[in-house]
Structure 1
Amino acid sequence: MHRRSFLKIAAGTGLAVALPRHARAALPPYKGPFYVMISARGGWDPVYLCDPKPKGTFNRLYDYDPVDPTAVGDIHYADIQLPANLVTDPLSPQYLMKNADFFAKYASKLVVINGLNMQTNNHDRGVVTIWSGRHDGGYPNFAALVAAERAPEHPLAFISGGGYSGTGNLIPVTRLNSVGSFRKLAEPNRTNPADPNSTSTYMHADTFARVAAAQQERLAAFKAKQNLPKIERAAGELYLARGNLDALASVALPDALIDLPNEMGDLERMAQQTQLAMAAFSAGLAVGVNLELGGFDTHANHDTVQVRQLAKLLWGIDYVMSQAAAAGLDSNLIVMVGSDFGRGKGYNGMDAGSGKDHWPVSSAMFLSGNPGLLGGGGRVIGGTTELEQLPIGVDPDTLELDESDDGIVITAPHVHVALREMAGLSESAAAKKFGIITDMLPLFG
């Protein structure tokens, strides 16, 4: 089949097809807002972060008095110190961030939701729920939902470096875990794309262009013969991907990747993925990205491991914001931080090495360099009881704590309905296809 015939058929069936590189118009850059979803994988402990409790059943590490709390504005936090034995390499402590330092820097730009009932103790179900708003699989990650609505044709619209990457088949997911793998994908003709000083290629540029054009024509012919929707869709996605190599090559990747001590390898991966995400955002090719830091499933050694992972996480969030600021994106960026569920209630033993088990009551944090995008920063919504670590309901209009039967306990569906409203997606076709039926709470204004 001739190229012109294929495009005519594609247009007649409503298929959006990117032209080959030498004939395709440049994609209009996506200009934001940009979305970063950060997963604290394994089940974090909000009592050691943004939902502090007096020393006792739930807390063995810090002093907290609700009458005279450790807080920045309205945001209370657990004032945990970081002992030297959390890490072994003398270069590692600089990559840990204390709660006090984090909240002092970002409280005015934060919205904290406490008493978030995840309605599950299961890791897989919790991960799906916090990022899609539904327990069952098949629903898209919120960032993927936005990407599908705002820039579905962009080759890097939704990037996943871990966490829940479901897209509901609305758009392809780009699974890139490192800048090095991206360079190989974006510049397949370079013999050594990892070396910015190397210009050698496998074939002459004109030859490579002819090969690429032939591949696209062959793929177009293959797609035109398919009757099964799944194969047809996959062929179309491959066609689009190959046709966007020029766009991928335009991403200004950092020559120097951040290098952390060996024991901070999980945080280094998150930081390098952040570098890739900011490059894709700056190029106008990406809408949302997943980042992940694991190690929060602390059934043992809770007071050491949970504290260390939270300190890494806060440094990682700070790195996201600092990189966004350096790129001029922080005021157009929305960050969501969440986890599978919480931990508690209380410890599972009496010794210093005991842990905390799964607990469905959790928290979530939202951050932006422009808190107006969140309906205002410096806010805490919801809470938990001091004696039982159970969620306290809120008034559906004012969001004030309401312990009566009229109070609504916040759940992940509430969060995602509010997120969709904030992003202007409530009436979109994708949001209606993946509907969430629950009360609308004005979490973000």
Structure 2
Amino acid sequence: MNRRDLLKLSGIALASAAPTTRLWAAPTDYQGQFLIQMQVRGAWDVASYCDPKLNKNGKIINNWAKTKGIETAGNIAYAPFANNADLFEKHHDKMLVINGVNSYTNGHNAGQQYNFTGSTQAGYPNLSASFAATLQADFPMPLLVNGGTFSSGDVIVPTRLGRDIETFNTLLEPNVSGTKQYLPDEDIRAIDNFRTKRARDNLDKASIAADKRFLEDFLIANKSFPNFAEFKRVLKSVDTTGFDMRENLNQQMLYALVGFKSGTSVSADTVINAFDTHSDHDNLHAGRLTKANNAIIFAWEVAKQLGITDRLNMFIASDFARTPWYNDGGGKDHWPIGSAIVMKSGVSWTDRVVGKTDDGLKAYKLNPNNLRRDDANGVILESKHVMAFGRRLMGIENDPLMRNFDLRTDGVDFKFDY
């Protein structure tokens, strides 16, 4: 590569990596929270996960229940299925399990919309987008997304990394290919100084608004470059020994957490697919749950390495759930009442289960204040209540931006963290 080509590459590198033409310089003193919203797409079987059910009166709800009982880790019951024990035994102290969440639908699109945004109305943003949008003026890539059912609500433009990680790695170091460095560092600094001076000179002369905006964005982008260099440094520092980094969900978690630590991001939307097990349920579901559990374990391990455990929040949910019985093909079909898991370290309201279902996965009403079963005056938990809690936990429930996206909870506030 000659110097002319490198000059061109260095001029487009940051713009190519960014979600829009508007880039931001990240603050060096941000001490706030981070958020990972995890989409388990296809509908998970909570009866074989965090709302375990035994067989009763000859009715087979779970094959594992023919020979095994329900296990507990701390105060949380879980099913002895897949590698659930690995996750719950290691991280029950960080978990708030919310059972009996009614999504009032058996349709994937509607369920994903409701569980990931808190509203059935199209155009509402995912929790990850809502949180990032309140801070986007301070970060180069405030929100990382990886596909799935994602809605920005037009409040933020996300950066998609999960399926294009190698390209992003190249853009982090445009002067390096493998072990080869094209130009000495002093030449790169000279090029950068020249480009910056020329941009400032042209900005002073610019008379067209679009030209001025482009030059302003370019100068702001230059300020973000140290954060991207820090992203690369932090990425290289993470020890992934013992984890399969060929798994895309592990990659998604890694890049989210590195983004948080390096000052480039504050929020991420991660995705795992293929939970729609209408046939061969046990085999297929066990494999997908194992991958999901391993990725959650990996995320907390990386957070520990990076020293951000106490700032990490995770919201894990699915479309809805699966039937408390098998169909003729050994699968399980759609069931509207499921669960959500909130994870956070070092707080008093974790290591517990709230919400309750009967033996047939039908939800009981709860008193929102004490979270006890209240058949007479209680309220059925819905996805909007979980997302309302998410907004409160992330400190954005009263942000002016959220006034445009009323979750219509009618004043019902479940005291999950009290």
TM range, smaller chain: 0.7 to 0.9
Q: 2:62 aligns with which of 48, 59, 64?
A: 59
Output the CA distance in 1 between the equivalents of 2:200 and 2:119.
38
- Residue in structure 1 matching 2:108, options 112, 118, 123: 123
CA distance in 1, matches of 2:200, 2:241: 39
What is the distance in 2 between the residues matched to 1:287 and 1:312?
24
- How is 1:276-287 mapped onto 2 (pairs within 5 angstroms)? 276-287=255-266
Q: TM-score, normalised by structure 1?
A: 0.77
Any conservation in 2 of the 1:63–1:79 contact (CA below 8 Å)?
no
Pair 1:246 & 2:219 matched: no
2:380 maps to 1:409: yes
Following superposition, the deviation at residue 386 of structure 1 comes to 0.7
Change (3 A) 1:240 1:326: same
Residue 433 of structure 1 corresponds to 404
Shift of 1:104: 1.6
* 2:181 partner amino acid: T
What is the CA–CA distance in structure 2 between the aligned matches of 1:239 and 1:113, rounded to whole Å?
A: 46
Within 1, Cα distance between the matches of 2:227 and 2:252? 19
C-alpha separation in 1, matches of 2:263 and 2:353? 32
1:19-418 → structure 2 map (5 Å cutoff): 27-55=27-55, 56-62=59-65, 69-80=70-81, 82=82, 98-177=83-162, 178-187=164-173, 189-192=174-177, 195=178, 197-201=179-183, 204-211=188-195, 224-225=209-210, 241=221, 244-251=224-231, 252-255=233-236, 268-349=247-328, 353-370=329-346, 372=347, 376-387=349-360, 389-402=361-374, 404-418=375-389
Q: Deviations over 1:345-403 (max 9, x none)?
A: 42221xxx521112111111111222x1xx5111111122213x21111112110122x
Percent identity over the alignment is 27
> Cα offset for 1:218?
7.5
Amino acid of the structure 2 residue aligned with 1:274: M
* CA deviation profile, 1:181-214 (whole Å, cap 9, x unmatched): 3223333x3252xx3x332259844235544665
Tell me if the contact between 1:117 and 1:411 (Cα under 8 Å) persists in the aligned partners: yes
The two structures, once aligned, show a CA RMSD in angstroms of: 3.2
Post-superposition offset of 1:297: 0.9
CA contact (8 A) 2:23 2:140 kept: no
Gaps (5+ residues) in structure 1? 1-16, 83-97, 227-231
Alpha-carbon shift at residue 235 of structure 1 (Å): 10
Q: Residues of 2 paired with 1:303 and 1:222: CA distance?
A: 66
Q: 1 CA distance for matches of 2:74 and 2:372?
A: 16
Listed one character per residue, the Cα deviations across residues 111-144 of structure 1 (whole Å, up to 9, x for unaligned) are 0011111122222222222121112222122122
Cα 1:184–1:368 shift into 2, 3 Å: same
Letter of the 1:254 partner, please give it: L
Q: 1:214 to 1:130 in 2, by over 3 A?
A: farther
The count of corresponding residues between Structure 1 and Structure 2 is 385
8 Å contact from structure 1 (residues 216, 242) kept in 2? no
Distance 2:324 2:218 in 1: 48
SS of the residue 2:350 aligns to: coil
> Which deviations, in whole Å up to 9, do the C-alpha atoms of 1:298-333 show, x marking residues without a partner?
011101101111122111100001111111111221
SS at 2:180's partner residue? Answer: coil
Tell me the CA shift for residue 339 of structure 1: 0.8
